[in-house]
Amino acid sequence: MTPAWAQLGYLAAAVCFIVALKALSSPKTARRGNLIGAAGAVLACVITFLVSDINHLLPIVAAIAAGTAIGVLGAYRVQMTQMPQLVALFNGVGGGAAAIVAIIELTEFRAGPAPIIDLIATAFTIVVGSVSFAGSVVTFLKLQELMTTRPIVFGGYPIVYGLGLLAAVAFSVGLVLAPSMLFALLLAAIGAGLGVLLVLPVGGADVPIVISLLNAFTGLTVAASGYLLENILLLVAGTLVGSAGTLLTRLMANAMGRSVINILFGALKGGSTLGATTVSDRPVKSAGPADVAILLAYAQRVIIVPGYGLAVAQAQHTLRQLVDLLTERGVQVDYAIHPVAGRMPGHMNVLLAEAQVPYEQLKEMDEIDPEFKQADVALVVGANDVVNPAAETTPGAPIYGMPILHANQARQVVFMKRSMRPGFAGIENELLYEPTTTLLFGDAKDTMSKLLAELKALTV
Amino acid sequence: MTTEPIIWLTIFVLSVFVGLEVISKVSSTLHTPLMSGANAIHGVILIGAILVAGTAQSTPILVLGLIAVILASINMIGGFVVTDRMLIMFSRPHRALQKQGRRELEQ
């Protein structure tokens, strides 16, 4: 029996987690909230060491040190642009850890007959933990573009998936009736397969939402292992993340105008590969930095649509200088931030905050979208899908239904692009071929520097 | 003893509602840090990993338990650190500026 003071300590840690989630919902308190959460987690671990009979102390401490080193190194070395992948990986290893804990707990049951609820919780943790682990690895591969970002569907997918689910249920029943290591390992393998299948049909642009969903899954496995280990804190913390994560997944999907069901299974209905191979050689209008500089310098109202390409090229600092110069000339400049610009909701805010762009210039979509009509120039830097009219005009396109920024309503649209390659969603952008659109080809940072130089020359 | 699962179920259900309630008013700007922070919180599975590794009776189980400990600490500690890195940029502009300056010097 855990002593009362330790129970109180666990309770304090649980309160820390609740306060942390609450504080993370507001910009002012977010950082403090995260630190409170970390304090709660450390407190919980210290209590565990103090009250439980822990053998093998040295290897365990070494393992924690190793995990800490890997985690901290990863967290510090990651580029802000690669943040979503890292969160996916961290989530995946958490799911994997929960599955392993459940498998080990199973060996303990051999001593005597286990209560049926415990065995159900074990089966659940193994399956869902493996789903989360394997699913997260696939999301990592997709975001890192180590595999195609397009939805992958094969003939008979629904049948394979259905069989996988049936097998998971069947072996779970098997595990409950006759607990054995064989069933546990089979369940882990089936769970991993289901995780891969779950993420394969999801298009690249939707992957962040799946990360959030898998995050909620991992939360639930942690809750189930809390029940297994008779640890209330694990139950509370896991459940909190499970329910908050589920809600967050819905909020994110809403921000993109998608439904979670559609994201997961939309590709199965077929048709979402529309536009895949239509990269045409239709004529486009391109211009040099000098022309674009003049266009910008004599505009009254410029709206910048930043995208992932801007951050990848690390051009956000040059862009800020450009904006400063334009503002000095009396041009009114704002940034139009699409909720899913970058790779995750809110990602672009993080990236631009890193480049010291004043918070007031970042306009959210609802606020800025009506103003494109009055804008002389919409400068689209490294963005594509978020201004793609196909989201409104082409039912069946992977991004159909996603709210977009109506950059096409500006008098002139300037696209800074590396090539004619389609955006992350893998579909072509009609806007590139509009008569009002000018393309400025080249690496965003390089072109941006040239543009800045031309603009300076005009100003002197 | 029969009432015990009921107590666990009660805690579970109440926690579900608390989880839904606390994040119901988050702005889309903070979706990414919030996901990352929640991700770090489920890293407390580390407690579970420590418990099973600490009571392991055989070497294979111990090894498996230690793997779980490593994975869980990556999740927990890496998760909190990376969330903090994101949030520094929101709340402390001048500090991020210094960092940026240093990085540009290094380049």
Q: How confident is the model at residue A346 (pLDDT cuts 50, 70, 90)?
A: confident
A206 assigned to active site: no
Query: What is the per-residue pLDDT for B97?
Result: 46
pLDDT at residue B1 is higher than 50: no
In this structure, are residues A9 and A49 in contact, taking their beta carbons and an 8 Å threshold?
Answer: no
A161 contact partners, CB below 8 Å, separation of at least 6: A194, A197
Residue B89 placed within a domain: yes
Contacts with A233 from chain B: Cβ below 8 Å: 44, 47
Query: What is the per-residue pLDDT for A274?
Result: 41
* C-alpha to C-alpha distance for A239 and A234, rounded to whole angstroms: 8
Determine the structural domain holding residue B66 and report its residue range: 33-106
Q: What are the structure tokens assigned to A190, written together?
A: 């089936």
Cβ-nearest to A241 among B38, B61, B84: B38
In this structure, are residues B73 and A68 in contact, taking their beta carbons and an 8 Å threshold?
Answer: yes
* C-alpha to C-alpha distance for A219 and A38, rounded to whole angstroms: 16
Give the pTM: 0.80
- Total domains in the fold of chain B: 1
Query: What phi and psi, each to the nearest 5 degrees, are found at residue A332?
Result: -85, 120
* C-alpha to C-alpha distance for A225 and A222, rounded to whole angstroms: 5
Residue B39 placed within a domain: yes
In CATH terms, is domain A289-459 a member of 3.40.50.1220? Answer: yes
Write out pLDDT tens, residues A20-36.
999 998 888 889 999 99
Residue B1 placed within a domain: no
- C-alpha distances in angstroms, A132 versus A87, A141, A174, B34, B104? 12, 14, 22, 18, 38
Residue B26 placed within a domain: no
C-alpha closest to that of B82 among A421, A402, A93: A93
**Which of B29, B41, B52 is most worth mutating to test chain A (most A CB atoms within 10 A of its CB)?**
B41
Comparing A419-423, B49-53, B83-87, which segment has the lowest mean pLDDT? A419-423
Query: How far from the centroid of its chain's Cα atoms is residue A267's Cα?
Result: 19
Calculate how close chain B gets to A198, using CA atoms only, in Å: 20
Pairwise CB contact (< 8 Å): A96 & B38: no
Query: What is the per-residue pLDDT for A424?
Result: 67
Q: What are the structure tokens assigned to A105, written together?
A: 């707990």
pLDDT at residue A427 is higher than 70: yes
Contacts with B96 from chain A: Cβ below 8 Å: 353-354, 356
pLDDT at residue A77 is higher than 70: yes
Average pLDDT over residues A40-44: 96
A394 contact partners, CB below 8 Å, separation of at least 6: A274, A275, A400
Residue B28 placed within a domain: no
Q: What are the structure tokens assigned to A205, written together?
A: 């642009």
Strand partners, A378: A303, A413
Contacts with B12 from chain A: Cβ below 8 Å: 223, 235, 239
* C-alpha to C-alpha distance for B89 and A109, rounded to whole angstroms: 48
Write out pLDDT tens, residues A223-261.
999 999 999 999 999 999 999 999 999 988 877 767 788
Q: What are the structure tokens assigned to A11, written together?
A: 């309770």
- With a pLDDT cut of 90, the percent of chain A lying above it is 38
Selecting among A206, A366, A385, A446, the annotated active-site residue is: A385
Residue B24 placed within a domain: no
Query: Model ipTM?
Result: 0.85
- H or E element: which one contains A275? none
